[in-house]
A and B are shown apart, each in its own frame.
Chain A
């Protein structure tokens, strides 16, 4: 934890030194804190998972931006003691305004680092039954793996000037290292193209993102080398001028299969070793004139353990506060 706090502080110092170097009033800062509480039901191993995140973002006009964050995960296990992970997030964005297109191109690079990640691995052993034709005996064992996690996420995006059309192409390379040679490293390559557009006089926004994920290590993701999923997000803005009013409402649906995914919008790493098969969530945010924002989301995620084929459900509540300066 100390290592990550140090790195987070270094990130913050880098942001502050950049602000100092450009000693003018052109920096726009924001800071956010959020909590994500997950309750698992029908899972053999998982009980709860709590995530706390703190992020600082600094934008220099509409030219470039720097971000730093710290995510703390605490996973309640049924068979083990709680597992705690700390993820360091660092990001940078640069905006380009080319003559050839009527919009802004943005290049961004985000990283997620975790030196001591802990996950639970499930192993399914099948032995032949007694005599001929007897039912086989299936033994499911679980073990705790200590590994590391390094994620790099470059994204190129386009947003037109009227903010009615958006497209991006994100590539994520995740590496989950392991000290256990039998388990080995896991490399995950994720391609996530996105398209979004507004309608209803810009009161609504529909975004579609396709996830294509390739996994390198069969021992870490039994029988799964490739997954794909589609995510739909519908956002509706309310024309509400009242102070601290309900600003927008959002519906999110994910269908398909997703394993070790990274959600760049939510800055969330899905480092559970189980297959996410669907997500349905609803949420919204409240804003006031003093640049305070509060958001709340609730949803259901369905998972499948690729080893035991066991299905389980995660009910989550995600809430946060953001302050702009």
Chain B
């Protein structure tokens, strides 16, 4: 009788755990489906209950932050990324993620500061450097951008984005010959690039 009871309890627990797992899987699945359909706020709401159950659920916090960024609710997205950084202060995901809503709010200095934090941890992180260059471009820090892009091109010689920033920086610092050379290299990597073609046709 005792054995039978233990087996029945085990079977019930298995059913309960499986049901919860399926339910959780469903919620994540629904969130991804809604994201694919462009319903970003609804996608974030579909995983909200995970945060109510465990507020420090790092992945749920990061995903909510990302979805609110896509939903163009930048301030809420930033709050979630800040929570993610409180949970894990070394999270490169959170730092790089947070740079996106900051840039969308034209908070270029704050976004630059965030990407610099990433660079402290991961010295040649491509995303951090390219986003930092976007900030330097918008802050019109041409001398800084020029030096930054000159250094980066050594580490990423085939990259067109770095060359575009380098060409812009040369152009704004009166180095037109160098700007032309950089834009020509952009066209080799990205034939038909609009900005490069326009500059070279002048």
Contacts and interface: CB of A to CB of B under 8 A. Distances in A.
24 contacts: A25-B113, A26-B113, A59-B109, A61-B107, A61-B110, A62-B106, A62-B108, A62-B109, A63-B110, A97-B74, A97-B107, A98-B75, A104-B105, A104-B106, A161-B106, A162-B106, A241-B171, A241-B174, A243-B174, A287-B140, A289-B143, A289-B173, A289-B174, A290-B143
Contacts of B180: none
Contacts of B110: 61-63
B153 interface: no
B193 interface: no
Interface of A: 25-26, 28, 59, 61-63, 97-99, 102, 104, 161-163, 241-243, 287, 289-291
B75 A97 contact: yes
B104 interface: yes
Contacts of B75: 97-99
A30 B45 CA distance: 44
A99 B109 contact: no
A102 B107 contact: no
B30 interface: no
A61 B171 CA distance: 27
A161 B107 CA distance: 9
Interface string B93-123: 0000000000011111110010000000000
Interface of B: 72-76, 78, 104-110, 113, 140-143, 171-174
Most buried by A among B108, B141, B143, B172: B172
Contacts of B174: 241-243, 289
A290 B147 CA distance: 13
Nearest to A244: B174
B73 A99 contact: yes
Contacts of A26: 109, 113
B200 to A, nearest CB: 14
Contacts, number: 49
A18 to B, nearest CB: 16
Nearest to A101: B75
Nearest to A159: B106
Contact of B142 (A25, A59, A289): A289
A161 B109 contact: no
A28 B106 CA distance: 16
Nearest to B141: A291
B154 to A, nearest CB: 22
Contact of B76 (A62, A99, A102, A289): A99
Contacts of B142: 289
Contacts of A62: 105-110
A75 to B, nearest CB: 38
Contacts of B76: 99
A163 B105 CA distance: 10
Contacts of B107: 61-62, 97
A289 B105 contact: no
Given A26-B113, A161-B106, A289 B74 contact: no
Nearest to A26: B113
User: Across chains A and B, which 4 residue pairs bring their CB atoms closest together, nearest first?
Assistant: A243-B174, A289-B142, A62-B107, A99-B75
A288 to B, nearest CB: 9
